[in-house]
Amino acid sequence: MKKKERTMKNLLIVVLLLSVIGLNANVQKVVLKGNEIELSFENVKIGKIEFIKGEKMIVDCKKDEAVNIEEVAGKFIIFSEMEVKINLKLPENKTYLYTDEDVKITFNAEKVKLIADDGTEVDFIDGELFVNSENENVQIGKNGIIVNDKDEFVEVSSRGIIVESPDETQHITGFWGQLLGGAINFITKHSIGWIGNNPGFIVKHIINDDDYAGGIKMNLDFSDGDKITKEFHETFNPIRGCKLNVHNRNGKVEIKRWKENYIDISAILGTNESEKEFEKIKIEVLDEDGCTIKTTALEKNPKVSVQYEIKVPKGVKIGEINSSNGTILIIDCEGEMNLNTSNGRIEVFDSNGNFVANSSNGGIEFVHLNGKAEAYTSNGKIRVVRTPGFRKGVTSNGKITLEIDEKMKNDIYLSTSNGSIKLYFSDNVNAEITAKTSNSKIKLHDFEMSVSSLGQASLEGKIGDGGKKLDVQTSNGSINFYKIAK
């Protein structure tokens, strides 16, 4: 009898465990027919990509996150109404295609190939990196770092550093040359080797669009890696004419409007150290100049991230928002906004007022804004949609996308380096256009424009009847004009 009871008890434990797993996981399986599969992702972040035997694609997410999979014209679209994270398992015997705005990526369990819109090809295979463009070839692998262009040859390897060109030849192959060349080669080769042997790692970051355009990205936004967390919550009634300012460090700031008449502040503090780290910072709610929320360091270099979610009633104006190592997100708000972060994105949606956004190592996105808007960043992309008051976007090592579907209210200046510019216009837009690039081309994609001057790398003309000026400049990137599809 006791044996039977023990067996039933064990069975009950198994059932309970399975039910818990079922509550926390949602797995969808789709049979992939054919050898070439096109994938698309909307509002989806990839936690991990694995390659498995078989014919089924497996999408794994939390139970309460609705992720849908549809096949449309041979393309598998994996999407969600809100941003979610999934783990993806793909059959290793198939090849996959993913298309971003500027680049087409094909990949399988062994290699990744990127084809940029200017024709440059990048291959990661067998722990080596190959870059082939019209004027230059680069190889990083077992033989060292080798660069070949039309006029110059460069080698960095255990032999030393060798530079050969029509104007100059240098062979630094003595002790110090071999030491320096070998060290550079060792670090680069092993970094590329590790990445090149992990196709899923590369593709994950491309799909996640982590703005690894250049520089070093240090995103300390709270994640599952933080072992210890602490919650903060406070509400208060704003004074008349409240101008909300937020000063944060090491974390995200999210502000959105709601229907209540008070301000609600929620914050999650996270650390990988001990709970004593929380004593090194203080969250303050001040009313000295209206409404100010501030993360104050009580000691030097506290190892704590702070993630804010702030809800504001109608009538509260958003003023200065500062953070570092985290995203700033504004939804359905108003005010004279001055938004500043480093190593993080800035995103503003469905808002009214005037907007100036400054970041470094992070992208900027404006969608459906009423008012003047400017965006400045480095090592990040800029995307502007349905914002007729937009007037300036400047970045480096990042692409720019601008979509104008109504009358321009200001002259617009766009500038980047090492990045393409894509411009989308509706039929009712009138503008004077000046576009310049270097080391690339200007392309009109089924787009009508009255051109007064046209070269391979420059263009002047007008759209419709002309009007406000649009000045577009880039280097090492193409400029593309498109018509917005109806």
Average pLDDT, the chain: 80
Question: Per-residue pLDDT tens for 88-102?
Answer: 999 989 899 888 766
Q: 117 and 50 share a domain?
A: no
Cβ neighbours of residue 23 closer than 8 Å, sequence gap 6 or more: 63
Local confidence band at 222 (pLDDT 50, 70, 90 cut-offs): very low
Query: What's the pLDDT score for residue 362?
Result: 85
Q: 118 and 184 share a domain?
A: yes
232 located within any domain: no
Q: 31 and 78 share a domain?
A: yes
Local confidence band at 300 (pLDDT 50, 70, 90 cut-offs): confident
Q: Comparing 278 with 8, which gets the higher pLDDT?
A: 278
Query: What's the pLDDT score for residue 221?
Result: 41
Q: 161 and 188 share a domain?
A: yes
What integer is the mean pLDDT of 1-28?
51
Task: Among 209, 242, 265, give the residue marking a domain's end.
Answer: 209
Q: Is the pLDDT of residue 288 over 80?
A: no
Q: Is the pLDDT of residue 458 over 50?
A: yes
Query: What's the pLDDT score for residue 170?
Result: 60
Which residue shows structure tokens 């009508």?
Answer: 448
| Three-state DSSP class for residue 175 | helix
* Dist. CA 178–CA 180, nearest whole Å: 6
Q: 88 and 149 share a domain?
A: no
200 located within any domain: yes
Q: Which amino acid is at 391?
A: R
Local confidence band at 392 (pLDDT 50, 70, 90 cut-offs): very high
| Three-state DSSP class for residue 249 | coil
Task: Among 99, 126, 159, give the residue marking a domain's end.
Answer: 99
DSSP line for 178-220: HHHHHHHHHHHHHHHHHHHT-HHHHHHHHHHT---SSS-----
What integer is the mean pLDDT of 383-387?
93
Q: Do you know the residue count of the chain?
A: 486
328 located within any domain: no
User: Tokens in use for 223?
Assistant: 């994640």
88 located within any domain: yes
Q: 89 and 116 share a domain?
A: no
110 in Cβ contact with 71 (< 8 Å): no
Angle made by CA atoms 146, 148, 152, in degrees to the nearest 5: 115
User: Tokens in use for 171?
Assistant: 């062979």
Q: 115 and 201 share a domain?
A: yes
Q: 61 and 142 share a domain?
A: no
* Dist. CA 110–CA 287, nearest whole Å: 58
372 in Cβ contact with 352 (< 8 Å): no
Local confidence band at 378 (pLDDT 50, 70, 90 cut-offs): confident
Q: Comparing 386 with 193, which gets the higher pLDDT?
A: 386
> Which candidate, 63, 72, 75, 52, places its Cα nearest to that of 28?
63
Residue 3 belongs to what H/E stretch? Answer: helix 2-24
DSSP 411: -
Task: Among 47, 66, 99, give the residue marking a domain's end.
Answer: 99
120 in Cβ contact with 131 (< 8 Å): yes
User: Tokens in use for 137?
Assistant: 């070839």
125 located within any domain: yes
Question: Per-residue pLDDT tens for 58-94?
Answer: 888 876 667 888 887 778 888 876 677 888 999 989 8
Angle made by CA atoms 467, 471, 476, in degrees to the nearest 5: 150
Query: What's the pLDDT score for residue 266?
Result: 94
What integer is the mean pLDDT of 356-382?
92
Local confidence band at 332 (pLDDT 50, 70, 90 cut-offs): very high
Number of domains comprising the chain: 2
Question: Per-residue pLDDT tens for 149-179?
Answer: 766 777 776 666 667 766 555 655 555 455 5
Q: 122 and 55 share a domain?
A: no
Torsion angles phi and psi, residue 277, rounded to 5: -60, -30
| Three-state DSSP class for residue 2 | helix
Q: Which amino acid is at 163?
A: V
Q: 91 and 116 share a domain?
A: no
204 located within any domain: yes
User: Tokens in use for 288?
Assistant: 């000295």
User: The domain containing residue 122 runs over which residues?
Assistant: 111-209
Q: 70 and 126 share a domain?
A: no
Local confidence band at 356 (pLDDT 50, 70, 90 cut-offs): very high
Q: Which amino acid is at 395?
A: T
257 located within any domain: no
121 located within any domain: yes
Q: 118 and 140 share a domain?
A: yes
Local confidence band at 45 (pLDDT 50, 70, 90 cut-offs): confident
Cβ neighbours of residue 185 closer than 8 Å, sequence gap 6 or more: 144, 145, 156, 157, 158
